């Protein structure tokens, strides 16, 4: 859905200024030109099913806990070359439009921060924020700051 | 997935006035393979009643 919709927004500009888009952007957005109407409709139907399943699950609990990403933070160099998919944990809930929040929940052995995602019921952001706040009050992770080395 | 070929992308890109380089075409081909396989894996067995919800209303 995302690539088809992104292409829809960028189509005219892409045709005029294709080379001015970076390689990663133009190939990610440009892929949307090759999604058929039937496939886009199928994606909408899958979204409807997913949203219903999530709604049912959230009738039994106030929130669902997931990793925000399935790997620790990575370097700027990785980001600029072949970055991993950082939307792994967030896209499902962007798709369903359920509210979600990430809070710090620890560090790797190398000292890199780890995030925990909380997903709440539709239109119940208040409960979600209270859960996130209660968690933060019970831990110290969000107070830790990196040591910044200053060189001259 | 057998319908997705580099040749089809090339022809469709020309029809849509998208000046893909060979590298663009290859990256888009790989991305489409992933997207279309994911769609196929999740294809609903029943499609009636799965219309997108109106605005941000959670479907019943």
CB contact under 8 A, B27 and A27: yes
Concatenating the DSSP letter of every residue in chain A gives -HHHHHHHHHHHHHHHHGGGS-HHHHHHHHGGGG--HHHHHHHHHHHHHHHHHHHHHTTT-SEEEEESSSS----HHHHHSS---TTTTTHHHHHHT--EEEEEEEE-TTS-EEEEEEEE-TT-HHHHHHHHHHHHHH--GGG--PPPPP--
B37 reaches A (C-beta below 8 A): no
Of residues B41, B3, B53, the one with CA closest to residue A54: B53
Chain A contacts to B (CB-CB under 8 A):
3, 11, 14-15, 18-19, 23, 26-28, 30-31, 33-35, 39, 42-49, 51-52, 55, 97, 122
Cα separation of B20 and A6, whole Å?
17
- Is B23 a domain residue? yes
Q: Which residues pair with B38 in a beta bridge?
A: none
CB contact under 8 A, B42 and A30: no
- Is B19 a domain residue? yes
Q: Which domain holds residue B37?
A: 6-41
Structure tokens at B23: 């590298």
pLDDT band per the 50, 70, 90 thresholds, residue B58: low
Residue with the two structure tokens 């968690």: A135
Q: Is B57 helix (H, G, I), strand (E, B) or coil?
A: coil
Alpha carbon of B2: minimum distance to chain A alpha carbons (Å): 14
Cα separation of A116 and A136, whole Å?
11
- Is B53 a domain residue? no
For A60, phi then psi, to 5°, come to -95, -20
Size of interface A-B (CB pairs under 8 A): 74
What are the residues whose beta carbons fall under 8 Å from the beta carbon of A52, sequence distance 6 or more? Answer: B58, B59
Write out residues in chain A with pLDDT < 50, as ranges. none
Cα separation of A118 and A129, whole Å?
9
> Tell me, what's the pLDDT at B48?
85
pLDDT tens-place string over residues B13-46: 999 999 999 999 999 999 999 999 999 999 988 8
Alpha carbon of B18: minimum distance to chain A alpha carbons (Å): 6
CB contact under 8 A, A18 and B18: yes
Is residue B51 predicted with pLDDT exceeding 80? Answer: no
> Tell me, what's the pLDDT at A7?
95
pTM score of the predicted model: 0.80
Is residue B10 predicted with pLDDT exceeding 90? Answer: yes
Nearest to B16 among A33, A39, A51 (CB): A33
ipTM of the complex: 0.84
Q: Quote the number of domains for chain B.
A: 1
Alpha carbon of A1: minimum distance to chain B alpha carbons (Å): 10
Which residue from A minimizes the CA distance to B15?
A33
Is residue B57 predicted with pLDDT exceeding 80? Answer: no
CB contact under 8 A, A15 and B16: yes
Nearest to B31 among A27, A44, A46 (CB): A27
> Tell me, what's the pLDDT at A90?
94
Is residue A4 within 8 A of residue A33, CB to CB? The reply is no
């Amino acid at each position: 859905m995302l690539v088809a919709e992104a292409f829809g927004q960028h189509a005219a500009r892409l045709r005029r200024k294709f080379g001015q888009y970076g390689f990663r952007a133009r190939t990610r957005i440009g892929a949307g030109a090759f999604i058929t109407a039937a496939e886009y409709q199928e994606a909408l139907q899958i979204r409807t099913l997913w949203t219903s399943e999530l709604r049912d699950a959230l009738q039994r609990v106030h929130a669902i806990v997931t990793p925000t990403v399935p790997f620790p933070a990575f370097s700027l160099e990785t980001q600029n070359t072949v970055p991993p998919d950082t939307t792994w944990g967030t896209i499902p809930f962007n798709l369903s439009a359920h509210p979600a929040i990430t809070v710090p929940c620890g560090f790797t052995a190398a000292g890199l921060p780890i995030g925990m995602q909380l997903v709440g019921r539709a239109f119940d952001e208040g409960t979600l924020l209270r859960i996130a706040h209660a968690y933060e009050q019970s831990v110290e992770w969000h107070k830790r700051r990196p040591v910044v080395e200053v060189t001259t | 997935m057998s319908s997705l070929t580099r040749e089809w992308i090339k022809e469709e890109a020309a029809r849509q006035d998208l000046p893909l380089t060979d590298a663009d075409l290859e990256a888009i081909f790989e991305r489409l393979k992933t997207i279309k396989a994911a769609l196929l894996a999740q294809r609903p067995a029943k499609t009636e009643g799965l219309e997108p919800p109106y605005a941000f209303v959670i479907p019943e």
